[in-house]
Amino acid sequence: MTPIDISGVGASGQKQGEMTHDDTPVRWPDAACNGKPTDWFYPLGYGHDDEHITEMNRLALECCDQCPRRTECRERALAMVDCYGTWGGHTEPELHQMRVARYGGGQ
């Protein structure tokens, strides 16, 4: 899948409170994760042990802390039906909890 470059707010255009099946990666030009290792943000899919996952999550969250796109990124992640990895300064389990709180357990 080729990342799309969007410089505006709103990622794929969905409004808060709507969910989407569009899981196309979004690449903001000023995102702090541009050029950083993918493994930092998607450690669970690589079959790593807990220690490695914790370290990758730490690196990803430090990166997100410096990112001007945290809010848009988190909203993009919460709107996706299937969302994996660290987005918007939140790990995958945190995003799952936030999604359940927002949309209910049926999502």
Position 56 contacts ligand SF4 (CB under 6 A): no
Position 40 contacts ligand SF4 (CB under 6 A): no
Q: Which is nearer to ligand SF4, 56 or 64 (CB)?
A: 64
Distance of CA 29 to the CA centre of its chain: 16
Position 63 contacts ligand SF4 (CB under 6 A): yes
Per rule CB under 6 A, count of chain residues that contact ligand SF4 = 14
Position 33 contacts ligand SF4 (CB under 6 A): yes
- Residues contacting 35, CB < 8 A, separation 6+: none
The single residue listed with the structure tokens 């969250």 is 61
- Tell me how far apart the alpha carbons of residues 63 and 47 are, in angstroms, rounded to a whole number: 22
